[in-house]
Structure 1
């Protein structure tokens, strides 16, 4: 993007000076450079009050030309605006996390968490219209909101298909997106057009958890969070409000904290990271469950998994699948799990889990150890001894035996003799040491090498500084004098290949 030229107050003073001088017949063939040289002394003599009008003209020119001293991106968007938006999103993320932690983790008893109600929302869109500020306005075509709690599962689902006109120029995009996902054509027959009616129905659903004018949050996945405001803003507009009156929070974060809080209450393993909760939601193991989609999608092949009503119900099933057994909730088909779920198998799994937990607790109590490594059984057995038994154990103790391996039989350590009268030691230690063959034991520090100790001293060359042997001579003499036998030179030892 080309840099825009900025004009200061002195520039406008030169323009006025030039007009005044030209009316008097003077010419400036040198242009602005000549004018600046002539009028500079007069500009220096002016007071701040006299320069004020020119300063104001310079500021107004910057505003008109869009120059304010700010830095811009290559698309012409001010960097300060981008930083401000990033700060706003971070503050929203922090407030969301704090609210969810306070709502879920601050429950004094597990029953409060089980009875707590949450609201899930999913929106299908028709097209995305680009706004002048670079953001997108998603035109909703279908949405569903459902109440959820661990105790009652999914309840009171509210579903609507919307009859909304497609903006000019977006008809092709709307048809392509509809065919690829929800398969709802624009202006569907029987669709709801009045957003005021939809707003009132939504308020009635949220009423049990509404405090004053503050509505409870609506939870959805992060991939749908930017789509939901397109619906809520149209609802809020009917009552003279904006989409800010609604709070749209992350379903994955809620699932993460519900699971870990339930696990901590009964001492089981939760999710180690938020990504685990996100993966379980996106995996969508109930995506092909039948009987939970709306009447419109139920009769269309391949469209039930995109139905908004089916989506919010499957979210509830996923959370119940991870949390209900741990908190001791009897799962009900249709509310906590699909209607065709084998409940006998779930009950058996629950009984097995409870039995495993009881056995684990009993085993942990019996095997608990203190900091010294003493088991509970040994502690009880020791405390049951009488004083007389304890004194007998102390008197009949065996003294500690110290084994000197240098005096054992069959030792091949040089210059060490075995004492036949030495007390016998462990048979295992003696046999193990006797079987170990040391071909070349280590010599004492600062002592002669093994080759020097067994060689003929007369054949060993002098080691003084006047008669130091040449390289190769000393090694040959020592090898000849030594009784140690080396294998013949062959392959891989620098010799020839002749056998």
Structure 2
């Protein structure tokens, strides 16, 4: 509905009523009838101030109203939400960088502990970011020791959001396959569960509670923490804000860059897109015996939170332990039944201590990684070589340096000279032949069935036959 505009005549009526005692005793309708005859006798110059005042009032009214976007949302509110999201993202990145760089400066990056956390949920509210948790898992991880401990539990929230039983059933059947309330499994005291989670994180990290999860799950993990915290009488005011949730993919990128810097390896080919692609491949997705008992029995380990955090830890180890020459341990860095595809040959550290300028003991110049060819088929990444456990040097296969206008860049087939150049006797006819037929196949001077292998020459084939 369009806003009502101000009128110059009504501006005159209001002014006349305020200035005359007779007008104050009249109703608005009587005042309009009385001032109508006066307004008709006024000149354009006399009406001008009142018309200008009406336009000014319209401008002021438009300035007071909130502009809306195509979704009916206030523009200023949307802009403020975007600024807050950008500021939160920047603070998250700076905090992640500070954690990694401080560990590097203390020469203890390989022993720095990180906590990976994951939630499963039953359903989400339609209009707000409220998730009803169904399962939780967290693991304590470091590059040197791998997985140190795992905390995993199923959650029984007691009820789900009214009217969303069908959505919850569909989500459960297509993902984790956990039974819905009131038949849900696990802990049903949300306050007790939240205190247990906080106690576990405190033992792992101290007072600074930071967990890492994929970027697309950050809002869901935050909401689940708040859902549990609201049931805790001692912590209901904090609303779960004391547990910070950061991006695990950004951690992988920053950690990989610093590990390569410590090891003295080139890092110009490492960027956020490369590390995100490596993390997204999820090489250990179908690893058996790393999920909880329920999902192992129901063949849903891919969606098990315990399996998720374990696979993330294996991915970190596979991507970086080889750079720091850390010996991987089955069950800690790689799946329990996997044989590592390299072994560490330790150097004499006492003789190299004076020569080393590296920040990490595991990056001493004399230490090296020896590939085990007999165990390639059982590497953590399947039939492919592990990026972290081999001397991996990415190659750029997108660039083609050959000149397509030069005939010598193409294979020598038929009657072309092996060097790709025509003799002077060939003349202009040979030059035109090269431009029209790039592969220079022999002319069909006789039926194709009568051709023999001797009519086609391959560069270097004669030498191989002679050998």
Do they superpose with TM above 0.5? yes
Task: Normalising by structure 1, report the TM-score.
Answer: 0.59
| 1:324–1:330 contact (8 Å) kept in structure 2 | yes
1:158 to 151, 156, 178: 151
SS state at 1:28 partner? helix
Question: In structure 2, how many angstroms separate the alpha carbons of the residues matched to 1:6 and 1:75?
Answer: 25
* Larger RCO (CA within 8 A; separation ≥ 6): 2
The equivalent residue for 2:202 is 207
Unaligned regions of 5+ residues in structure 2, if any? 18-22, 51-56, 348-366, 372-422, 426-467
Compared with structure 1, are the counterparts of its residues 116 and 44 closer, same or farther at alpha carbon in structure 2 (3 Å cutoff)? same
Question: In structure 1, how many angstroms separate the alpha carbons of the residues matched to 2:8 and 2:336?
Answer: 79
Q: Does 1:28 align with 2:33?
A: yes
Q: What do residues 190-247 of structure 1 show as CA deviations (whole Å, max 9, x unaligned)? A: 42122211121111112145555xx332100012112112211123322121233221
| 2:137–2:305 contact (8 Å) kept in structure 1 | yes
SS state at 1:186 partner? coil
| 1:28–1:35 contact (8 Å) kept in structure 2 | no
Task: Normalising by structure 2, report the TM-score.
Answer: 0.63
CA shift, 1:89, in A, is 1.2
Q: Does 1:321 align with 2:318?
A: yes
2:88 to 81, 89, 92: 92
Unaligned regions of 5+ residues in structure 1, if any? 46-54, 357-435, 439-499
The equivalent residue for 1:482 is none
CA shift, 1:106, in A, is 3.5
The equivalent residue for 1:289 is 287
2:192 to 193, 197, 202: 197
Q: What do residues 141-168 of structure 1 show as CA deviations (whole Å, max 9, x unaligned)? A: 1111111111221222111211121111
| 1:97-112 equivalence runs, <5 A | 97-108=93-104, 111-112=107-108
CA shift, 1:272, in A, is 1.8
1:122 to 118, 130, 137: 118
Q: What do residues 4-58 of structure 1 show as CA deviations (whole Å, max 9, x unaligned)? A: 33669996885694874348966629989969979x989989xxxxxxxxx9xx9
RMSD: 4.3
The equivalent residue for 1:251 is 248
SS state at 1:130 partner? coil
Question: In structure 2, how many angstroms separate the alpha carbons of the residues matched to 1:156 and 1:342?
Answer: 21
SS state at 2:246 partner? strand
The equivalent residue for 1:354 is 369
Q: What do residues 68-104 of structure 1 show as CA deviations (whole Å, max 9, x unaligned)? A: 3331112221111111111111111111111111211
The equivalent residue for 1:336 is 333
Question: In structure 2, how many angstroms separate the alpha carbons of the residues matched to 1:36 and 1:112?
Answer: 91
Compared with structure 1, are the counterparts of its residues 10 and 152 closer, same or farther at alpha carbon in structure 2 (3 Å cutoff)? farther
2:174 to 167, 180, 191: 180
Question: In structure 1, how many angstroms separate the alpha carbons of the residues matched to 2:223 and 2:40?
Answer: 59
The equivalent residue for 1:5 is 4
CA shift, 1:350, in A, is 10
| 2:134–2:156 contact (8 Å) kept in structure 1 | yes
Question: In structure 1, how many angstroms separate the alpha carbons of the residues matched to 2:314 and 2:41?
Answer: 79
Question: In structure 1, how many angstroms separate the alpha carbons of the residues matched to 2:126 and 2:38?
Answer: 48
Q: Which has the higher Rg, Structure 1 or Structure 2?
A: 1
CA shift, 1:298, in A, is 0.9
The equivalent residue for 1:232 is 225
Q: Does 1:76 align with 2:72?
A: yes
Compared with structure 1, are the counterparts of its residues 12 and 171 closer, same or farther at alpha carbon in structure 2 (3 Å cutoff)? farther
Q: What do residues 301-357 of structure 1 show as CA deviations (whole Å, max 9, x unaligned)? A: 3x11100110000000000001112212221111111011113x332899996369x
| 1:123–1:140 contact (8 Å) kept in structure 2 | yes
| 1:4–1:67 contact (8 Å) kept in structure 2 | no
SS state at 2:138 partner? strand
Q: What do residues 347-378 of structure 1 show as CA deviations (whole Å, max 9, x unaligned)? A: 2899996369xxxxxxxxxxxxxxxxxxxxxx
